[in-house]
Amino acid sequence: MKKTLLFFISIMVFCSCSNSEEVVAYEAVPLTVDWPSNFPEITYNLDNNPLTDAGFELGKKLFYEGRLSSNNAIACAFCHEQAFAFTHHGHNLSHGVNGGIGLRNAQPMQNLAYQTSFMWDGAATHLDLQPIIPITSDLEMGETLGNIVTKLSTDVYYQEQFTRAFADGEINSENILKALSQFMLTMVSSNSKYDKYVRNEENMTLSSIEQDGLNTFDVKCASCHSSDLFTDQNFRNNGLSINPQLNDKGRYEIGNNPDDLYTFRVPSLRNVEVSYPFMHDGRFATLEAVLDFYDSGITDNGNVDPLLLKPDGSYGIDLSDYEKESIIAFLKTLTDHEFLEDERFSEY
Ligand code: HEC
Ligand code: HEC
């Protein structure tokens, strides 16, 4: 009996020895991203976190990893679903561990390399720091970075993948955050019908209603939803009525500056066809409702952006039925099916 046991133990020792001989080492294979020619320069400094194949793979695994949360079930992807431009489909307000309901609608994740701040109120100023907010929020993942390090450190896959991805090979908070950033930075959405049209690719043309919508958009919307990112990245108040239950003061919560009252980061409009519901609290289910709001629903909440002031002193953007219809047709040309279905970003 003893002999057989010894035999098995020696086999196990032998096997684990031969496993560890399979050399796992740092692999600095650069990952190149085709930054689109119709976009401005990226703002993320890649010198501090160069993109590599191994870093991207690790970041993706972490993005889909339930163990980043206290109940081991809520991954980032739980609230950021690819098919809906990485929003929390079907939820006005997101919920996480403990079923607690958050204050805000999950934002799409796309073109994050270009952003100067993150979250609706700009609470995070660097992409590497953003994930700390959902990870440690009781309403989202309810976990600590220290516990995550402990959990991942016992997993052979992570031991090897951190070795491949980082020169120091350490499973620590800094490397977890850098790997997540590497995955998020590559999420570039730039292959919509509109992009192909502006870059003169594949002989793409817009239909006449889409072109009319683009023309109206340029005059009436592009002051805030500007550039091919469709946001000027500023914090603005577009005249939404205040929801008394949430009383979300937006950017004001960050610095208590009265000028920031009820201002929110101007969102990109890429992939809006699939990222409903809309606005920071998900109050509008459809684009039709959004355009009716701009035309006749703006409320003077005390700090509405002067760009929305009409000559008669009231606030709003006058839109005819055809203008609304054509703007929506144009907005749908911003849907990037290649991005929404790109297997590089999918779990399997
Ligand atoms: C429980 C749902 C939930 C989970 C889990 C979650 N998020 Fe989010 N995410 C949100 C919501 C809601 C917002 C908008 C919050 C705000 O503005 O206050 C957001 C915003 C973001 C943004 C900002 C996007 C922008 O345009 O500024 C990024 C980046 C992001 N999340 C990444 C992550 C990562 C990485 C994880 C995993 C570590 C994660 N999220 C986990 C719900 C979630
Ligand atoms: C004064 C600046 C400004 C102008 C002009 C403006 N917007 Fe906005 N838009 C915003 C801000 C700010 C938000 C986010 C508000 C919030 O959630 O509190 C927003 C949100 C949106 C959303 C929701 C996006 C999402 O992901 O939830 C859509 C769609 C939209 N705007 C379309 C338009 C269209 C179409 C026009 C022109 C008719 C327009 N906007 C004009 C500032 C502006």
Contact 93, 102 (CB under 8 A): yes
Nearest alpha carbon, ligand 2 atom 15: 279
Residues present in the chain in total: 348
Token pair 């703006």 in the structure block, residue: 298
Sorted by where each starts, the structural domains of the chain and their CATH numbers stand as 28-189 (1.10.760.10), 193-338 (1.10.760.10)
Query: Which ligand number lies closest to the CA of residue 106?
Result: 1
Model pTM? 0.93
- The full 3-state SS of 144-158, as one line of letters, equals CHHHHHHHHHCCHHH
Neighbours of 37 (CB within 10 A): 10
Q: Strand, helix or coil at 47?
A: helix
Answer positive or negative: Cα dihedral of 191, 196, 282, 310: positive
Q: pLDDT of 205-224, one tens digit each?
A: 999 999 999 999 999 999 99
Q: pLDDT of 254-281, one tens digit each?
A: 999 999 999 999 999 999 999 999 999 9
Nearest alpha carbon, ligand 2 atom 26: 278
Q: Which residues line ligand 2 (CB under 6 A)?
A: 220-221, 223-225, 236, 238, 240, 264, 266-267, 269, 272, 275, 278-280, 290, 294, 305, 307-308, 317, 327
HSE, CB side, 13 Å, CA atoms: give it for residue 188.
20
Residues of the chain with confidence (pLDDT) below 50: 1-18, 20
Q: Cβ(62) to ligand 1 under 6 A?
A: no
Tokens in use for 33?
């991203």
Closest among 67, 102, 105, 71 to 88, alpha carbons compared: 105
Q: pLDDT of 136-160, one tens digit each?
A: 998 899 999 999 999 999 999 999 9
Q: Which residues contact 72 (CB under 8 A, 6 or more apart)?
A: 66, 151
pLDDT given for residue 23 in this prediction: 84
For a substitution probing ligand 1, which of 71, 130, 138 has the most ligand atoms within 8 Å of its CB?
Answer: 130
DSSP string, 219-268: HHTTTTS-TTTT----EE---PPP-TTT---BTHHHH--GGGTTBEEPPP
pLDDT given for residue 150 in this prediction: 98
Q: Strand, helix or coil at 81?
A: strand
Strand partners for 264: 236
Q: Which residues contact 111 (CB under 8 A, 6 or more apart)?
A: 39, 187, 188, 189, 190, 229, 268, 270
Q: Cβ(76) to ligand 1 under 6 A?
A: yes
Nearest alpha carbon, ligand 2 atom 2: 224
pLDDT given for residue 73 in this prediction: 93
pLDDT given for residue 21 in this prediction: 57
Residue 146, CA distances (Å) to 149, 152, 171, 290 in order: 5, 10, 10, 42
The rounded distance, in Å, linking the Cα atoms of 343 and 348 is: 8
CA of 106 to the centre of ligand 1 (A): 6
Q: Strand, helix or coil at 118?
A: strand
Four-CA torsion 165, 169, 173, 179, nearest 10 degrees: 0
Answer positive or negative: Cα dihedral of 318, 319, 321, 322: positive
